[in-house]
Amino acid sequence: MRVYVTSLGCKLNQSEMDALAARLAQDGHQVVTSPADADLCVLNTCAVTHVAAQKSRQALRRLHRENPAARLVATGCYAELTPEDLRDLPGVERVVGNQDKEQLAALIGRELASLTAPSPAVHHPARTRALVKIQDGCDNACTYCIIHVARGRQRSRPADEVLAEARARLAAGHQEIVLTGVHIGAYGHDEMPDPSNTDTTRMDTSLWSLVARILTETDVPRLRLSSIEPWDLPQSAFQLWDDARLCRHLHLPLQSGSDAILHRMNRHYTTAGFAALLGAARTAIPDLAVTTDVIVGFPGETDAEFQESLDTVETMGFARVHVFPYSLRPGTPAARMPDRVSPPVKAERARAMRAIAAAGARAFRQQFVGREMEVLWEGSRPGENAPVWSGLTDNYLRVYTESSANLANRITATRLVSLAPGGLQGEI
């Protein structure tokens, strides 16, 4: 059976679809790269905002238009939260929530076995960076977020299982491993021993012990962390970056630069504490890129509070800021809060925040003009004289270069010669 898999939203969704594609290929199905060639299409949906939910519905309709004969399976967070929204869409045959996602490959295999004999297939990595899921779920209760409902309680994968997948991805040719999950800083918290248990032989199962094991027990060229909550980053972890293979990039969600808003969001830090953490991290890890998320227009956000947030983001000098206008998610505490900010005001605040973010990102990139750094090249597009390749430094700088050579999945020393839209121009 020919199966097309795709996802919307976070890196965790991508990781799950990569794993599903590999499982299907191992089971003898053919994983195709175009929905037009598929007998069945699987979409991992997103519901982090109302816009993401809308895009999920649009994506399912688009898959049906591109191949009306294909059967559709919708899974993921939207499918978990409001499956009734998806069941009646054209072509959707099954809606599978997150709680049943682990059985999706076996479920599809059983359903398809009666329709056609499986075709031999080998799953090749689609990206130079392999997304490895280390945990699922979240025990936080941020007032704006619905994901802890969609994903459930924090659950960690066994460390040996993570190591085995990392080794398999490296053997398949990936040059970078990205550890991903809903709340990776909580990795191992569900496995921590009971304080009353006197057994002292059990290993620490924190994120940082996992990172140390991957660096020690594999030959990974690059290891990158996805989003980490500020309260999950102890200064004792900074020594891990003495190993140059651990990418100098931290994504620390700020969410707001106003302490009053952070309190209403049920975030566990202040702007002063966040700034102190950034200062310590930047001192310990030279050339560190810190990226973040910021929500504007949270219920009750005043002009003064928004200005505080704007000033905080400008002062902290992030390498990149993802700006989100607040999105009401039914069932969250924030959805019941008074004094909602009007859509036009939210849009204006998002525009102002993005302008500050763009200036900060440009200033960060400017620091590296004239430097030589290693770039992992990912793909290319046609150029005037030769293909234009795009890749990333370990500290998340996007670099472009023209080359007739095949640079895909190679790490090369590259001189960064000038700024380019969204990145830098490089010369190998």
Q: Domain check: are 52 and 139 in the same one?
A: no
Element (H, E) at 346: helix 343-366
Q: What is the DSSP string of 53-64?
A: HHHHHHHHHHHH
Q: How far apart are the first and last CA of the chain?
A: 43
- In the prediction, which pLDDT does 111 show? 65
- pLDDT the model gives residue 102: 74
- The H or E element spanning position 335 is none
Judge if 101 and 135 occupy the same domain.
no
Domain containing 61 — which CATH number?
3.40.50.12160
Q: How many domains does the chain fold into?
A: 3
Residues 272 and 145 in one domain: yes
Helix (H), strand (E) counts: the chain: 12, 18
The answer to the question of residue 121 being in a domain is no
Q: Assess whether 188 and 331 both reside in one domain.
A: yes
| Pairing of β 320-325 and β 289-296 | parallel
* CA atoms of 268 and 231, how far apart (whole Å): 7
Q: Which of 366, 389, 405 is the last residue of a domain?
A: 366
Coil, helix or strand for 18?
A: helix
Helix or strand (DSSP H, E) at 89: none
Question: Residue 117: its pLDDT value, please?
Answer: 42
Question: How many angstroms separate the CA atoms of 295 and 273, rounded?
Answer: 19
Question: What pLDDT was estimated at residue 13?
Answer: 87
One-letter amino acid for residue 242 of the chain: D
Distance CA 415, CA 417 (A): 6
Contacts 24+ apart (CB under 8 A), 386-391: 390/423
Count of CB atoms within 10 A of residue 139's CB? 13
Edge-first strand order for the sheet with 176-180 is 129-133, 176-180, 222-225
Same domain, yes or no: 95 and 175: no
Q: Is 28 left (phi over 0), alpha (psi -120 to 50) or beta?
A: left
| pLDDT value, residue 329 | 93
Residue 279 lies inside a defined structural domain of this protein:
yes
Residue 374 CA neighbour count, 13 Å, CB half: 14
Q: Are 269 and 376 within one domain?
A: no
Same domain for 165 and 301, yes or no, is yes
pLDDT at 22: 85
Show pLDDT as tens, one digit a residue, over the chain (428 residues). 899 999 998 888 888 888 888 888 888 889 999 999 999 999 999 988 989 999 999 999 999 999 999 999 999 999 999 999 999 899 999 999 888 877 787 777 766 554 444 444 434 445 789 999 999 999 999 999 998 888 889 999 999 999 999 999 999 999 999 999 999 999 998 865 444 444 433 335 799 999 999 999 999 999 999 999 999 999 999 999 999 999 999 999 999 999 999 999 999 999 999 999 999 999 999 999 999 999 999 999 999 999 999 999 999 999 999 999 999 999 999 999 999 999 999 999 999 999 999 999 999 999 999 999 999 999 999 988 899 999 999 999 999 999 999 999 999 999 999 999 999 999 99
Q: Where a domain ends, among 80, 113, 146? A: 113
Position 213, amino acid: R
93 and 77: one domain? yes
Q: Which two tokens stand for residue 112?
A: 């398809």
The pair of structure tokens assigned to 286 is 């030279």
In which domain, by residue range, is 57 found?
A: 2-113
pLDDT of residue 118: 42
Asked if residue 410 is part of any domain, the answer here is yes
Q: In sequence order, what are the beta bridge partners of 131?
A: 178
| Residue 122: C-alpha distances to residues 113, 342, 418 (Å) | 18, 51, 41
The CATH number of the domain where 188 resides is what? 3.80.30.20
Is residue 118 situated within a structural domain? Answer: no
From edge to edge, which strands make up the β-sheet containing 30-31? 30-31, 2-7, 40-45, 71-76, 92-96
Q: Which of 13, 95, 6 is nearest to 59 (CA)?
A: 6
Residue 63 within any structural domain of the chain: yes
Query: What span, in angstroms and rounded, lies between the C-alpha atoms of 105 and 101?
Result: 8
Residues 167 and 316 in one domain: yes
- Bridge partners (DSSP) of residue 155 are 136
Q: Is the residue at 188 inside a domain?
A: yes
Q: Does one domain contain both 7 and 44?
A: yes
CA 176 to CA 395: how far, in whole Å?
13
Alpha helices, DSSP H, located in 67-198: 77-81, 84-87, 104-113, 147-151, 159-171
pLDDT for the residue 112: 56
Tell me: do 345 and 407 sit in the same domain: no
Examine residue 145 and state whether it is found in any structural domain, yes or no: yes
Domain closes at, from 335, 366, 397: 366
Q: In terms of domains, do 189 and 245 share one?
A: yes
The answer to whether residue 208 sits within a structural domain is yes
